[in-house]
A and B are shown apart, each in its own frame.
Chain A
Amino acid sequence: MKTVVRRLAGHLARGAAMIWVVTTISFVIIRTIPGDPVRAQYEKLIEQGMAPDQAERATAALYGFLPKGSLWDQYVGYLNGLIHLDLGQSLSTPGTPVATLIGSAAKWTILPVLGGTLLSFLLGVTLGVYAAIKRSGRLGDALAISGSLLHGVPQYVIGLLVMAVFTTLWPILPAGGPVDIMYDPGFNAPYIVSLVEHATLPVLTYALAGYGGWILAMKSSVATVLGDDFILAAELRGLRRGILFRYLARNAILPLFTILALSLGMLFGGAIFIETIFNYPGLGLLLVNSIGARDYALMGGTFLVITVAVVVANIAADLLYAVIDPRVRTGGAA
C-alpha cells in the first residue's frame, strides 16, 4: 500500500512537471506567433477608441494575462490564472470562459472515445488470440490480413467510408451532429435513442480505426508468450486447456494495457478528423475551430486539456500495470 502511495506521488509530481512544460511552451508559442495576437488585440482595441487601461483590462480578460509588463510578469500572471483554473475567455465566442467551452465539448469526446476504444480493444484482443493460435490456418491468415488492412487505412478514410455506407448507400443512421434538436434534453427515451444513433458512427469509426492495431499487437504478443517455456511446462504438467489459456492470455495482454491507456489519452487530440467528419462537437472539433478562428486562448486551453488527458492516462496505465503485474509491484518496493 505504501508503495502504491509513493508511486502515485511520484507520478503526480512528474505529471505536474510535464503539464507545466507544455503550458510554458504553449504560452511562449502564443506570444511569439508572428503578429503577437495579444498585442494585436490590445492595439486593435485602442484603435477602436478604447482607453489604454480599459483595453488592457479587456485584453487581460480575454487571455487571462496582461499584455503589458515584462514577458515574465505575463507568464506569472498566466500560470496564476491556470492554478485557479482560469483559462481566460474565448475570442470567437466573446464573454464565454474557455473552461466552459472545453467542459461542454469534453463530454462529447470522452464517451465516444472511451466506447470506441474499449470496443476495438476487446474485439482486437480476442481475435488477436485466435489469429496467433491459428496462425498457420486460413482463419488466422484472414484475421491478420484484416488487421493489417484496417491498420493501414487512415482514420479519416475509415470515417468517410463509414459515413458513405451508413448515411448514403444504406441510410439508416444520421450523418452528423450529436443529437436531434427536436427532442428535449434529459432522461427520456427519444432523446437517448437519438444520442445513441448519432454516436454510433463515430464510435464505429474509432473501433474500426483501432481494431487493426490491437489485433496485430495481440497476435505478436500471444505468439511470443506461446514460445515461452512456462507455457510448455504448464502443458507438460497436464494443466487443463482453460487454465492454459488464462496463463497465455494474461501474460500476452500485459504489454497491451500500456498502449491502451496511452491511446485513450492520445485520442482526445486524435479525435480531430473523426469529429470533423461527423460534425461532432467534441474537443477535436473545438480545437479545429479555435485554430480556424485564431482563438489563442481556446487553443491554449484545449492543448492543456489534451496534455492533462495524456498525463493522466500515463499514470493510470502505470498504476494498472502494477496491479496486474506482480513483478512491477514488488519492483517498486525494493
Chain B
Amino acid sequence: MNSIFRYLKNKLHVLLFLFLEIVCLISIIKSNRYQSAFYFSNTRKLAGKLQETNHSIFDYFDLYHKNQALSNENLLLRRQLKDNYLIESRKVFTVNDSVYKQRYEYIPAEVITNTINLQNNFITINRGSSSGLETGMGVFCPEGVVGRVVEVSENYSIVTSVLNSTFKLGCKIQEMNLAKGTIHWLGRDPNFVDYLEVNKYEQIKKGYHIVSSPYSKYLPENIPIGVVDKLETKSTDDFYKIKVKLAVNFGKISTVYVVKNLFNREVQELEKKLKEKIK
C-alpha cells in the first residue's frame, strides 16, 4: 500500500497535468454547444466590469464613426417617414385594418468585447436577463446581421458572432425575393462568408444583396447580410460556390440591437404540442 502511495506521490505532477487537461478539454467541448452557465454567471460580473471600462476608453476614440453610423441610420429612417410620400390615388378607401400586430421589439446594447481573429468569435454585450434578454435572440447593428445570443447573465450576454464556425443563418436574395440557402463562415477572411446550398440553376448575379430570410425565428426579414462578391460553378456540383462580402465591419461594431420576437413563445408552444402529438 505504501509503495502505491509513494508511486502516486512521485507521479503527482503527471496526474495533476492529466486531470487539468481533461477538465479543460471537457470545458472546450461543452462550450462548443453551450457555455457553462454557472462558471459564466460567476465570472462574468468581474470580467464584464473590466471590459466595460476598457470599452468606454476606446469608445471615445471611435465617436466619429459612431456618429456617422447613427446619422446614416437616421437618414434611412427619415426616408421611410410617411411625410415623404404623396398619395397618388384620388380615391379614398376605408379599410378596417386590424391585422398589424407588433412582432419584434429591439433592445439596444453596447459591445464591450469582440474578437474577429479566432475561429470561433464571440461578442460580449452590456445587456442581460435584467433587460429581458434570452438565449437564442438575434442581434444586428445598423449595417447588418451580427449574430445570436448564446449565454445570458444578469447584466451581460455573449453573442455568437457571424464570424463563428458554428453559426449558420437562413438567407434571402433580395433582388430575386428568393429565400434559399444559408451563410456560414469558414474561419478565413473576416470580411467574407460562404453562401451555401444555392442551386446553380438560379439566376443569381454578382452584386445581389443577401438579407435575412422571412423564415428566421430570431431575426426580422430583410436585415442586410452582405453582397454577392464571387460566384463559381462546377459541372460536377449542383450548387454554386458563392462568396458574400459582409455588410458589417466586425472590427468596428459598437452599438447593436437585440431582437425580441414577441411571438416566439407562442410558436415554441405550438411546435411542442405538435411534437407531443407525433409521439
Pair from one complex: no
